[in-house]
Structure 1
Amino acid sequence: MDGWKPGMHFVILDSSNPPNRRRSTPMNSCDAQYSTMTEVIRAEIARSPNGTISFRDYMDLCLYHEQLGYYNRETVKVGKEGDFYTSASIGTIMGEVLGACFANMARQYGAEEPLTIVEWGGGTGRMAGLVLDTIAERSPGLYGRLDYRMVEISPYHRKVQLQELARHPNVRHVEPDHSIDEHPRGPVIVFSNELLDAFPVHRIERKEGVLYEWHVCWNDGEGKFDKVLLPLENGGLAASYIVREGIAVREGQVIEANPAAAEWIKRAGERLERGTLVTIDYGDTAEELYAAHRMRGTFMCYRNHQAHDDPFAYPGEQDMTAHVDFTACIRAGEEAGFTEWSLRTQKQFLLDEGVMDMLVSHDGRDPFSPQAKRNRAVRQLLVSDQMSELFKVLVQTKKR
């Protein structure tokens, strides 16, 4: 999705189902009879032999159920009337910086080559519009040979994106399997902004020396969903991820395991013959994410601009997110053949890409002038709400 709140995004998958914002398992045909997310989840739990579903599947349903999931509902999610703000909401600066950055990447690949940009999870389409406007203004020749593809299966967001981007004829929606041609005519830039943070996560807890995975049951007495701890399944996705990444879970600690994020990086990299993967999200390295001061993990919910950590409060009516493990993403990229990478805070990325040159002079008498608003937007991206340090920009490159 375009932006910050923190959070917005997509999901996964198994090896036969490409990552995208949808459920990782087909919707049961009887789901259509339910009118609320609570009813859908309770039915899923009732079908389970042990009367529980994994937290990962619970989060998947809440966010990506075809009709009732948070991201598929036809409601405003970003901005004053939504649940959070995004970096695309803070003026035009982030989109301008990215547009200039992509144009510079294209020049490094070849001055006259066609360029394909593939954006996953474009949200309202505002970020894409800003990127395209910037390229059209600064590099009209590149804009003329640019193919901009958007991977978005939510009907609601596709509709909003088409309206937002009607001025750009070189934009088209594609299915995940066709996002990158088998033999593209030129380099490809794959781009995501707050995509990985809302992939459904496994929540793992260590108790009395044993690793447990969070599951979800229905508590009849209290009339709400509740957690159940079941021993972590050896050889399962979560257990394999913990072993592969060498994560040491401390006694009493809760962590989030997100094998889908690393898998998405790997799959995107394997499809790229020549190009760059730009991943913008909030998160950190494994050393920080699983440190002793993070005993309760990083999982958070957002609703009406309020943050809390109760996943059972508003099923299907709130965003759910967890920090991205960039150490795992870097490793997955190396396995996919990326030969160069850099990981920077959003602040450092913006500074490196010349954001200070976007400040404009003004007399300072009108705080609501376009010039004052523009300068304020630059400051907000660099210093406010911890966005500048919490967000990271991972750039991974593959050259022939």
Structure 2
Amino acid sequence: MDLPVPSTDALAYSAALSDHIAREIDAAGGWIGFDRFMDLALYAPAQGYYSGGAHKFGAQGDFVTAPELGPVFAQSLAAQAVQLLRLGSPQIIEVGAGSGQLAVDLLRELERCGSLPDSYAILELSGELQARQRQAISAQAPQLLSRVRWLERLPECFDGLVLANEVLDAMPVHLVVWKSTGVVERGVAIDNGRFAWVDRPASGRLLERALALAAECDMPPGYLSEVSLAAQAWVAAWATRLGRGALLLIDYGFPRREYYHPQRSSGTLMCHYRHHAHGEPFYLPGLQDITAHVDFTAIVESGCWAGLELLGYSTQSSFLFNCGLAEVLARTPASDGRRYLPLAGAANKLVSPAEMGELFKVIALGRGISEPLLGFSSGDRSATL
């Protein structure tokens, strides 16, 4: 792979995490599931990708998320937030707030339209990211910092809006291969001092889910893909805690029959390092992001089985236009090219089918919401799930 060369310190950081993972593999008898490898690579305390100190978001990091493109994403999203705060409770929890830019822009827009929540909590496990989020809010919206608090675990109960942008894709996944002889789980072992793929028969809950998927989808022998039991459990856990309100989840993925399409026979696992995308998860653990697309059908099933209602499902493009993206852009005169052109460029990336507009989806699950949601007023694709 032709990727940027890390610094000496970064290589040492990755080597330390690799040693940590290798010791865990040894302690587990020589093999761990890929879900555990991914969990350690991303979240091992003080060593994982999201736990360490490297820049991850924006031009100086490894990838760009919607909030990093500019304020138009949050300014459009705010219209949906206002409705949900009115229908539920005036509280927001943002999960995995990244650089903190979404919190900054969303709070500023809610302040502009007189709809600030009573509290804005950020659920963030990384102390390093908490510090960066606090710094971003302090620098760009200091008058709103007092409304923000940080959580390290899910609350016991909550009424209001739970917002998660690009969170589900970073949850650990199992790798599964459907063979003519049965279902196997692809895991990680050590071979000559290097991480290596080793398959073992799938068992337990994973085998149950894999067999159910095979009964529903056409998977030829040798078909490899992901099963995200963690994302399903996460949604179900919120369902036991949410009173009146909604989960608003934004991520890239497909309905199940598209996700497990026969032609998508190598899965969706992808790694991101310095704005280069590749498929080698063993490359420099701790220095790169590891993601998988979201099976949105599984997300809906988990939420609804746990008592939530599907409130809407659409492309990011439809959702943002329904929420007033065009009106947000119109606030800045097109004649003011210095200000308008960056906003228009960001908007194009957010809604273009060739960029984020079609691949990224928005899904809402809730309880006690008494009217249709603005973001899904046209272009709702719930029937495809």
Q: Which bracket does the TM-score occupy, shorter chain normalised?
A: 0.7 to 0.9
- Structure 1 residue 304 corresponds to structure 2 residue 274: yes
Separation in 1, partners of 2:280, 2:125: 28
Letter in 2 for 1:239: L
In the TM superposition, residue 384 of structure 1 has moved relative to its aligned partner by 6.4
Pairs within 5 Å for 1:278-289: 278-289=248-259
2:131 — aligned with what? 159
Letter in 2 for 1:389: E
Pairs within 5 Å for 1:8-19: none
- Structure 1 residue 176 corresponds to structure 2 residue 144: no
Partner of 2:35, secondary structure, is: helix
1:3 — aligned with what? none
1:231 — aligned with what? 201
1:38 — aligned with what? 18
1:162-182 Cα deviation digits (max 9, x unpaired): 11123211110123243x54x
Give unmatched runs, 5+ long, in structure 2. 1-13, 370-385
- Structure 1 residue 376 corresponds to structure 2 residue 345: yes
Separation in 2, partners of 1:244, 1:119: 33
Separation in 2, partners of 1:177, 1:376: 36
Pairs within 5 Å for 1:236-247: 237-243=205-211, 246-247=215-216
1:358 — aligned with what? 328
Separation in 1, partners of 2:121, 2:334: 41
1:389 — aligned with what? 358
- Structure 1 residue 91 corresponds to structure 2 residue 70: yes
Partner of 2:355, secondary structure, is: helix
Separation in 2, partners of 1:336, 1:215: 30
Contact 1:100 1:134 in 2 (8 A): no
Separation in 2, partners of 1:53, 1:147: 41
2:313 — aligned with what? 343
Separation in 2, partners of 1:388, 1:269: 28
Partner of 2:106, secondary structure, is: helix
Give me the TM-score of the superposition, normalised by structure 1: 0.83
Letter in 2 for 1:218: I
Contact 1:340 1:397 in 2 (8 A): yes
1:117-145 Cα deviation digits (max 9, x unpaired): 11110011110111110100102xx32x5
Partner of 2:79, secondary structure, is: helix
Give me the TM-score of the superposition, normalised by structure 2: 0.86
Give unmatched runs, 5+ long, in structure 1. 1-33
Letter in 1 for 2:25: I
In the TM superposition, residue 362 of structure 1 has moved relative to its aligned partner by 4.1
Partner of 2:54, secondary structure, is: coil
Separation in 1, partners of 2:35, 2:220: 21
Separation in 2, partners of 1:98, 1:59: 31
Contact 1:362 1:372 in 2 (8 A): no
Paired residue for 1:188, among 157, 160, 167? Answer: 160
